[in-house]
């Protein structure tokens, strides 16, 4: 193999092997909360600011909370939110989401590249990078 081609192959292989990371100032879209998927067409997001503050949409309201991250450890303080009223099912989902955030203890990435925020027990909040 020619040196330039070998270098290209090695650099591409290195990119493929790099693990996915939880990034600050990147928005992630929630797909599941524990054992339940989101209500159709609802939109929940999580963004971890570089300043230690997290925020996003909770389906109906905007939410915000301080967070701490060290390695694979991640925790959120009690979340606050705006106080708009929506359909009862959306309000219930929003409450479950905000409660689940308060129970997060660590994060990882699944084999399919999905971000997971894990509580001490039970199923994780599952998210994808928000592309839109």
pLDDT higher than threshold 70 for residue 59: yes
pLDDT band at 8 (very low <50, low <70, confident <90, very high): very low
The model's confidence at residue 12, banded by pLDDT at 50, 70 and 90, is very low
Q: What is the DSSP letter of 123?
A: P
Of residues 121, 129, 131, 119, the one with CA closest to residue 46: 129
Domains and CATH numbers, the chain: 24-129 (2.40.128.270)
Please state, rounded to an integer, the average pLDDT across all residues of the chain. Answer: 88
Quick: pLDDT tens for 14-46. 444 455 578 999 999 999 999 999 999 899 999
Check residue 70 and give its pLDDT.
96
How far from 117 is each of 1, 5, 87, 88, 103, CA to CA, in Å? 43, 40, 26, 25, 9
Residue with tokens 């599941």: 32
């Amino acid at each position: 193999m020619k040196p330039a081609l070998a270098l290209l192959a090695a650099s591409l292989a290195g990119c493929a092997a790099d693990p996915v990371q939880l990034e600050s100032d990147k928005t992630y879209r929630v797909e599941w909360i524990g054992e339940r998927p989101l209500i159709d067409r609802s939109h929940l997001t999580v963004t971890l600011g570089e300043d230690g503050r997290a925020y996003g949409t909770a389906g109906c309201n905007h939410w915000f909370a301080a967070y701490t991250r060290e390695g694979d450890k991640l925790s959120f303080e009690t979340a606050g939110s705006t106080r708009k009223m929506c359909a009862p099912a959306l309000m219930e989902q929003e409450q479950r989401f905000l409660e689940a955030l308060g129970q997060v203890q660590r994060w990882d990435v699944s084999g399919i590249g999905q971000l997971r925020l894990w509580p001490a027990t039970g199923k994780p909040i599952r998210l994808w990078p928000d592309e839109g």
